[in-house]
Structure 1
């Protein structure tokens, strides 16, 4: 049997209309109704609205969690199970759901609070950098106050996070093929999120984590574990810690993973894996039709 990992994209992968294929499914309809009671707004309506609203952190994160969780449920219904799971930033919450660590409602309540706290964050800046000298970048980040490597996505693409002044200082002093400032309210995955992380920790403390049914590679520590206490501890550090996606990808062949299925909108993660681990088979699942097929 092919050893398979399921991976889940995070904020930035959302697409207007990403619920369209799910609307005729009774099971999906029930999930949408559950979500509306918890959130106080309709995931379906937001996903069918304009791009600006869907891209608002407050809405983006819950919408992605709900849509990706529904796809997980549909795959399970067909008898599919992974050997390993991982998610990029917000996607880690879906990975924990897929591994049976948290139930749908607990996960959505966590994501709702996370989104609220992150959308309230202000005064920070993030920028994606492509094509750079890693040694030069890491040296400059280390020398610059209030800037960190927030997302280590691949050898050729990272995201830095920090104060606007610090981010500008790094961008203006290293050579890159491209540098793009992200439309976010705060310096996510940096120490500047500490107040929000402390508030979130209070919510996380009250949620029960179960033993994972399959190993999880966490953003903060990409080593496979199933222990609930370890997974909760790692998740508690995620808001201020770096997303170590490059290391997660490199761990896949070490763990004998032969195929990766990206579950959710877009193909960002499979694109990164294709360039990093070319021998691993890849598949994208973003509609119920693909699962039925």
Structure 2
């Protein structure tokens, strides 16, 4: 069993794609026409340092990832059993599975990069050394409730996303817990609730295109499970504001048995991350240990403590609800949902959104329902 994995932002580098552009002149010409500039020159020469800007990084990586995959097939490599991509890389996974053609994927990525580059006022930081539950404990105990978890790269390598002032303020609290805190060079709060406006605009754009059935299972960043039919648009739209559940995705693939991973694109970032996931002990990332390790938080007024306690109770209740639901009801459960007469089918496990809301996604509906709003048929 083999999975091809496609990298996202962070893997770009001057010189990437060398030798590929000459091998696929027709695709390179199409890319230049769509983008309005030379993709080869951008990747090989990085004029004016443009590769560090999101609106250039994303098309560049998409093209190099795609040409790398096409070169593998041309050289006789068999198609994989599964496909997965980290954030932007998911577009290459869908391309490889036949969900859209090269040009459509590039137009989508171009629009995505433009929208993300226009977002401002946000920031992101990598927190290394704490689990998801421990990170949520720090956020709750220090009233940083506007920060979301953006990327679950490994059990203890996690990226958070939020307003810049909150991200800057959070540094002290995480370092008090012994974590390494690494601000990222981005201008917006990607993969968080703060991308809602971009998500809505992008979804409208996504609906202007047609999509084909996936011929190879693609693992969704949003659900950490294979795409269901007709799920491309809601998944790619939701991906802008949802966590990249990379650890859960890789663990799902590993459970399929005898899985090999092959990074298909520039660099080896994902290969190194997967090697770490394989040796880390499994951790229930949804529940973690909220509030257990957080013993060094700055003292606050009594009313703050009461507010924290109330918010923590909401979190504990949400985690209890999702745990109980997932123990009884599998993906594909028939349900009725508040405000809808038709019977719907769940397309994800129950999960905690925004740190405190127990919810589940259903087929045919672009969004989630709180567990309190649904009934099993």
Q: Show structure 2 runs of 5+ residues with no match.
A: 280-377
- Whether the aligned pair in 1 keeps the contact of 2:84 and 2:90 (CA below 8 Å) is yes
SS of alignment partner, residue 20 of structure 1? coil
- C-alpha separation between the residues in 2 aligned to 1:72 and 1:23? 13
Which residue of 115, 123, 137 corresponds with 2:135? 137
Number of aligned pairs? 274
- C-alpha separation between the residues in 1 aligned to 2:254 and 2:210? 32
The reply on whether 1:55 has 2:52 as its aligned counterpart is yes
Instruction: Please identify, of 59-68 and 246-255, the stretch whose mean Cα deviation from structure 2 is larger.
Output: 246-255
Aligned to 1:123: 121
Aligned to 1:33: 29
- Whether the aligned pair in 2 keeps the contact of 1:101 and 1:211 (CA below 8 Å) is yes
SS of alignment partner, residue 239 of structure 2? coil
Aligned to 1:185: 187
Q: How far off is 1:276 after superposition?
A: 1.5
- C-alpha separation between the residues in 2 aligned to 1:23 and 1:36? 11
Q: How far off is 1:264 after superposition?
A: 0.7
- C-alpha separation between the residues in 1 aligned to 2:258 and 2:232? 21
Matched ranges for 1:139-218 at <5 A: 139-142=137-140, 143-174=143-174, 175-218=177-220
- C-alpha separation between the residues in 2 aligned to 1:209 and 1:76? 22
SS of alignment partner, residue 21 of structure 1? coil
- C-alpha separation between the residues in 2 aligned to 1:14 and 1:180? 19
| Deviation string, structure 1 residues 79-110 (Cα, Å, up to 9, x no partner) | 42010001000000001001111111110000
| Deviation string, structure 1 residues 32-81 (Cα, Å, up to 9, x no partner) | 11101001111111112258311110100000001111111122222420
- C-alpha separation between the residues in 2 aligned to 1:213 and 1:46? 32
- Whether the aligned pair in 2 keeps the contact of 1:222 and 1:247 (CA below 8 Å) is yes
SS of alignment partner, residue 231 of structure 2? helix
Per the normalisation by structure 1, the TM-score is: 0.89
Aligned to 2:259: 258
Moved over 3 A (4+): none
SS of alignment partner, residue 152 of structure 1? strand
Which residue of 39, 42, 60 corresponds with 1:43? 39
Larger Rg: 2
SS of alignment partner, residue 166 of structure 1? helix
Aligned to 1:9: 7
Two-structure CA RMSD over aligned residues (Å) = 1.7
Structure 1 or 2: more helix by fraction: 1
- Whether the aligned pair in 2 keeps the contact of 1:6 and 1:260 (CA below 8 Å) is yes
SS of alignment partner, residue 132 of structure 1? coil
Q: How far off is 1:266 after superposition?
A: 1.1
Aligned to 1:19: 17
Aligned to 2:329: none
- Whether the aligned pair in 2 keeps the contact of 1:16 and 1:51 (CA below 8 Å) is no
Q: How far off is 1:149 after superposition?
A: 0.4
Bigger relative contact order (CA 8 A; separation at least 6)? 1
- C-alpha separation between the residues in 2 aligned to 1:216 and 1:140? 34
Cα 1:197–1:134 change in 2 (3 A) is closer
Cα 1:270–1:51 change in 2 (3 A) is farther
- Whether the aligned pair in 2 keeps the contact of 1:9 and 1:263 (CA below 8 Å) is yes
The reply on whether 1:74 has 2:71 as its aligned counterpart is yes
- Whether the aligned pair in 2 keeps the contact of 1:125 and 1:162 (CA below 8 Å) is yes
SS of alignment partner, residue 125 of structure 1? strand
Aligned to 1:285: none
